[in-house]
Amino acid sequence: MAASLDLSRRGLVARRAARAWKIVFVAALCVIAIGTHWPNIHVGDPTRPPDKIIHFIAFGGLAALLWQTGWVKSRVGLVLAGLGIAVVDELTQAIGIQGRQTSVEDVVAGALGVVVVVAGVWAFAPVGGIAACLRQERRRVAEQFVFARLGPWLSLLSSAVFGIAVMMPVSMLIDSRFPRPNPLQAGLVGAVLGAVLSSLIMLEALVRHTLRATVDKPRCTSCGGNALEGASCTHCGEAVDRALFIDWPEVGDMQFLRLVARPLLLGVGIVIAVAAVSMTIGALRLSYVWAARIDELLQGRAYGMTSVLDLTLVGIACTCAIRSFRKRSARRADSASEHCIACAHDLSRTPASTAQSLRRDAAGVSHSCAIGRCGECGGEFVREFSASASGA
């Protein structure tokens, strides 16, 4: 998940990308408001409605879109805004709309969706030192180039439709094997998972294509033009930031597996630990009053909340694993000025020849750094010279 857009630094490209996200957010907000306030809507089996899953997905999705608009700048603000939207939406259903009523469980389901998204924002927040932050900023700029044009949006939409067409029947087939199948809820979850996963795969392909293209032919990060003359854009006259077009080398397959192994175990371990605690409480309910009360509370929740809690647990576990992986990757990137990421060549005596520039790391500390190139494989690296000041 991308960080919020910095409109002051990215000019026209960022404004176009932010405008697109704002249009999508407003459209989604209107669709959800109409759906939750339309009189006498009944989805699926009245005894087993999927409304809790719908609230979880809908308000979590709104929170994700709101973050991308740039209207909210902090995770605390995103939590408050997301919860506020969920509460207002639910309270306004009590104004006399036929077939509609306020439900605390619906608010909780929507709030849990917001929590998972905020955890995702935390997982993808900048981490590491100057080299790692430069690499992350490079990717964010590539994402802005992608979202500033209509073509990539259509590609993402097409991939989402494909993911829905594949995952919806698969999830319904899997659900049919359980004792009490709920095809509508299973199809909804499968459709969302298919749309999200296929869109992320397409986004990754678009971003990688943009990164490769801008290495050979840098583009102005202000107007998006590629007609450059020296270090300036001939369209808008803005200086071209050379550090945003570094040809970063990629780690080898074995190095990648070592980086991902521990975070993967962390995510799986969180799910297993919570499941073990839940099973232990269930086993102790006949022997201890406190265990019986906790088990009664868990078993007595509204239908659909079990699935919401399961999705929340998986979401939190995934975000913790992603954060761990990104921190490990950041440490590897920050050490690349000593040993090349791609070929492990000793770079301690390789000079960094490009002119120095001032950059900030994830902690807000400014660093003086320069760019160099590995003499063995040609991959570029960033070398820090000093830490000069601290900022927010």
One-letter identity of residue 245: F
| Residue ranges making up the domain that contains 383 | 337-392
Mean pLDDT (whole number) for 129-133: 85
Residue 230 is predicted with a pLDDT of: 60
CA distance 134 to 356: 14
pLDDT band at residue 198, thresholds of 50, 70 and 90?
Answer: very high
User: What's the number of domains the chain is made of?
Assistant: 1
Instruction: Please check whether residue 382 lies inside any domain of the structure.
Output: yes
Q: Say what the pLDDT of residue 40 is.
A: 65
Residue 331 lies in a domain: no
Establish if 313 belongs to a structural domain: no
CA separation for the pair 315, 93 (Å, rounded): 28
Please state the pTM of the whole predicted model: 0.85
Instruction: Count the Cβ atoms, other than its own, within 10 Å of residue 271.
Output: 15
Stretch 266-270: mean pLDDT? 93
In the chain, alpha helices (H)? 7-37, 51-69, 75-91, 104-123, 130-147, 150-175, 183-216, 253-284, 289-299, 305-334
pLDDT at 177: 84
Model confidence pLDDT, tens digit, residues 215-267: 777 777 777 777 665 667 777 777 777 777 777 777 777 888 888 999 999 99
How many whole angstroms separate alpha carbon 381 and alpha carbon 372?
A: 5
pLDDT, mean over the chain: 83
Residue 365 lies in a domain: yes
The model's pLDDT over 49-102, given as tens digits with 9 standing for 90+, comes to 678 888 999 999 999 999 999 999 999 999 999 999 999 988 888 776 666 677
Looking at residue 96, what is its pLDDT? 66
Which pLDDT value is given to residue 302? 67
Task: Say whether 47 sits in a helix, a strand or coil.
Answer: coil
Residue at 255 is within a domain: no
The amino acid at 32? I
pLDDT band (50, 70, 90) for residue 7: very low
Q: What is the pLDDT of residues 336-373, one digit of tens each?
A: 888 888 788 888 888 877 666 677 777 777 777 888 88
Has residue 361 been placed in a domain?
Answer: yes
d(CA 165, CA 170): 9
| Residue (of 248, 229, 232) closest to 240 by Cα position | 232
Cβ atoms within 10 A of the Cβ of 60, count?
A: 27
371: in domain: yes
The answer for 128, left when phi > 0, alpha when psi is -120 to 50, beta otherwise, is left
Residue 367 falls inside a structural domain = yes
User: What integer pLDDT is reported at residue 344 of this predicted model?
Assistant: 80
